[in-house]
Amino acid sequence: MKTLDDLIADGVQDRFVLLRADLNVPVDGYTITDDGRIQAALPTIRKLREAGAKIVVTAHLGRPKGGPPPGRDQVESLSAVAGRLGQLLDERVFLAKDVVGESAEQMVGRIEPGGIAMLANVRCDARETGSAEERADLAAALAALVPGGAFVSDGFGVVHREQASVVDVARRLPAYAGDLVARETEVLRRLVGDPARPYVVILGGSKVSDKLGVLSNLLPKVDKLLVGGAMCFTFLAAQGHDVGGSKLESDQIDTCKELLTKYADTLVLPTDVVVASEFSANAQTRTVSVSEMPEGWLGLDVGPETVRLFGSHLADAATVFWNGPMGVFEMAPFAAGTTGVAEAVADSAAFSVIGGGDSASAIRAAGLDESRFGHISTGGGASLEFLEGQVLPGIAVLEEGA
């Protein structure tokens, strides 16, 4: 696929560039609580600015139902994001009041070379996620905003979505992979190709069913797969343990039994867990063996013995992939497992890849230096689908045009 460097070599001075970024950051009221995805978009934006492009950013925030942007509502508008991006660039980022309407046209028309404007939340236009015809219609309108322009796909967190601003517009404009998408693709291909060994994968999160595809695809390829998070309790139940009131997918127990039998030497489960009397930061807590779960109590984190066990497998790893927290890290009493595993990954000499989403947020929440990890992905879902062996529409369309 063609890259940002190819576009710049072709020349972008005084030329429009429609940039699809992933700026879907967590927002609490008017405050962005983790600006990691905005930071990750900066290298591509800075390159385009230095080359004199007129940059038009399209992005989404949250999951609005479609329709006009709801004013200053921080859940569905991008005003907080535009403000933060402007701070980081030391440049005002103008935000249109619509996606492809009058405000967008006026805003784009005023961009100077090296300038940047942002369209309203693209998911506020129902055509973004609509039928093929609706997506094509929105893509045509987006392309019309940037006459003579090019398209740069740099939102890795959305390349697994068949959406107008990700796929359809790439068929209407000369399309290039931004630095972030190119790097993410390169790193993940390294993991599914011939990674250095031992190759250790850590999977956490809520549901076995959500990770079944990646479990099935990776288990034959890895040396060890460490299981934490709420999903571990379905595996523990499959081993015959009473998991108390912990989250349990009863319909996945037989699947877990099959995996445990087939990959007995590969799968590594927790040996102790932190349990709570209720789902609350103020609940009573205990650390117990997985064979001694109190009746009705909930498992909300892996315990210190498990952190040491997982750390022993990470210590001599050459490649590590981690996706999903070990517990409810947002609550202080249940954050130690995730932080401990994150520190073990950081201490390892392995090439480590953090699979985006909550894993990346947990690393930043723990205050760990991001340079201690080989790569921190911006796309949790996209990373998992790539590792499952699925075709990602937003990558495939770029390869079509190469």
The residues assigned a catalytic role are 37, 207, 357, 381
State yes or no: 61 annotated in a binding site. Answer: yes
What 341-344 contacts at long range (C-beta under 8 Å, 24+ apart), as own/partner pairs, is 341/202, 341/228, 341/302, 341/307, 341/310, 341/311, 341/314, 342/366, 342/368, 343/368, 344/307, 344/310, 344/311, 344/314, 344/315
State yes or no: 211 annotated in a binding site. Answer: yes
Q: Which of 118, 125, 184 is nearest to 155 (CA)?
A: 184
d(CA 169, CA 119): 15
State yes or no: 343 annotated in a binding site. Answer: no
State yes or no: 356 annotated in a binding site. Answer: yes
State yes or no: 23 annotated in a binding site. Answer: yes
Instruction: Work out whether strand 150-153 and strand 199-203 pair parallel, antiparallel, or are unpaired.
Output: unpaired
d(CA 137, CA 144): 11
| Cα–Cα distances in angstroms (integers) from residue 390 to residues 128, 161, 385, in the given order | 22, 12, 5
State yes or no: 392 annotated in a binding site. Answer: no
State yes or no: 359 annotated in a binding site. Answer: yes
State yes or no: 358 annotated in a binding site. Answer: yes
d(CA 90, CA 84): 10
State yes or no: 73 annotated in a binding site. Answer: no
d(CA 35, CA 20): 17
State yes or no: 46 annotated in a binding site. Answer: no
State yes or no: 380 annotated in a binding site. Answer: no
State yes or no: 20 annotated in a binding site. Answer: no
Contact by Cβ (8 Å): 327, 338? yes
Q: Which residues are annotated as a binding site for substrate?
A: 22-24, 37, 60-63, 123, 161
Q: Which residues are annotated as a binding site?
A: 22-24, 37, 60-63, 123, 161, 211, 299, 330, 356-359
Q: Which residues are annotated as a binding site for ATP?
A: 211, 299, 330, 356-359
